[in-house]
Structure 1
Amino acid sequence: MTEIDIPDQNPKHDKPTPNKDQKTVTAVYGTLCASLILQLTPHAGVALFSGLLLLFTWGMIGFLRRGAERESLLANHMSFLNITLWMFSALIFVATAIGGYYVYTHYTFAQFGDLASVMAEGDMNDPMIRELKNLTLAVGAPGYLYIVYRLTKGLRRALGGYRIAHPKNPF
């Protein structure tokens, strides 16, 4: 066997090592994915931690973007993530407004008092609970589908070491 056929000594068989920017970008995507997953847990403490993690990561995105070279991989992906988070926030804001309007026009305060009593007894199969869960899914789904799509697209590009073609395009 010649020296060139040994995979350990042949540079063609070695995986390219990611540069520092690629590792940083991947870590930011990982933190955002973790925050998104933690938001879906039904525990108040975990949800609070998830929100704080999201805010911290958003701050880091701004900090990293300002410190990066204008045309670098880091600046490109941080711009992409910044636009993604702004659009996600706007979609969630609209969803909250629509859900709030629906609840305000279809329910009374007395119904919520009755619902609290039902929940305190442990009956989670009340029709109003099911209706509010369905409302939450209907108005919240577009925002979450948007951020999952954008994070998947960006993470796939980042893992390959590629830039986003139009990072400031929200769609």
Structure 2
Amino acid sequence: MNKEQKTILQLYAVFSAGILMNFIPSAVVQVFALCLLVVVLFAAYIYKAKAKLDSLMYNHTTYLIGTIWASSILLFIGMVIATFWVYEKGDHALIETIITGMNDGVMFTEKELAGIFSDYIHQNLTLLITATVSTLGPGLIYMVYRVSKGTARAMKGHRVAKPASWWS
């Protein structure tokens, strides 16, 4: 395996790590993961700019950049749909209680708000899971497919056919 292949595989690995870290329920970890994803995107653009048009590096960075942008768009659309779905179908009585209380001058403690939030999640859990899986699932499946395909091709030293296409 040559240096170029190793660099390509490192880009795929760091991108994959950034995606997986977003499933850890910690804001600090998720912010770090976002930073990793941005670094991978910038690195891919830099490596692509320095690579020869017919090189393995150019091919895979083009593919990875397309994967990042297409999956970001799919996930954004999924988040918007999930938000509207939960807004329309969710039981927001607890949220309305907080808003009414705040409008009446009630100051909730952090512990009280955490408890109310937990109750809200519990009341709407089935909806939240259904909305999340069905709206974000396609974007995540797309991303996993593309990264798996790119990694497998890079490990063998092969190029990806039509790297600029978002749907191949």
**TM-score past 0.5 threshold:** yes
Residue in structure 2 matched with residue 20 of structure 1 by the alignment: 3
The residue number in structure 2 matching 1:135 is 131
1:166 maps to which of 154, 157, 162: 162
AA matched with 2:115: A
Alpha-carbon contact 1:118-1:124 (below 8 Å) kept: no
TM-score by length of 2: 0.82
Identity of aligned residues (%): 29
Is 1:84–1:147's contact at 8 Å kept on the other side of the alignment? yes
In the other structure, the counterpart of 1:145 is 141
Greater Rg, structure 1 or structure 2? Answer: 1
Query: Which runs of no fewer than 5 residues in structure 1 stay unpaired?
Result: 1-17
Q: CA deviation at 1:95?
A: 0.4
Evaluate the alpha carbon distance shift between residue 137 and residue 119 of structure 1 in structure 2; reply closer, same or farther with a 3 A threshold. Answer: farther
2:115 is aligned with 1:120: yes
Distance, in Å, in 1 between the alignment partners of 2:121 and 2:36 is 33
Mapped partners of 1:90, 1:143: distance in 2: 8
Contact 2:18 2:37 in 1 (8 A): yes
**What's the RMSD between the two structures over aligned residues?**
2.3
Give, in angstroms, the shift of residue 127 of structure 1: 3.0
- Report the Cα distance in structure 2 between the residues aligned to 1:37 and 1:91, rounded to whole angstroms: 17
Normalization by structure 1: what TM-score?
A: 0.81
Alignment of 1:44-123 (within 5 A): 44-107=27-90, 110-112=93-95, 120=115
Q: Return the alpha-carbon distance in structure 1 between the equivalents of residues 132 and 156 of structure 2.
A: 36
Structure 1 residue 112 displacement after superposition: 2.8
The answer to which of 38-47 and 154-163 deviates more is 38-47
Give the deviation of 1:42 after TM superposition.
1.2
Q: How many residues align?
A: 154
Moved more, 113-122 or 89-98: 113-122
CA distance in 2, matches of 1:154, 1:48: 25
Aligned counterpart, 1:41:
24
- Cα-to-partner distance string for 1:128-154 (whole Å, 9 max, x where unaligned): 133212211111100100000000000
* Structure 1 residue 96 displacement after superposition: 1.3
Consecutive unaligned residues of structure 2, counting only runs of 5 or more, are: 99-110
CA distance in 1 between counterparts of 2:121 and 2:83 reads 22
Provide the secondary structure at the position in 1 that maps to 2:39. helix
Q: Hey, what's the Cα distance between the residues in 2 that align with 1:54 and 1:125?
A: 28
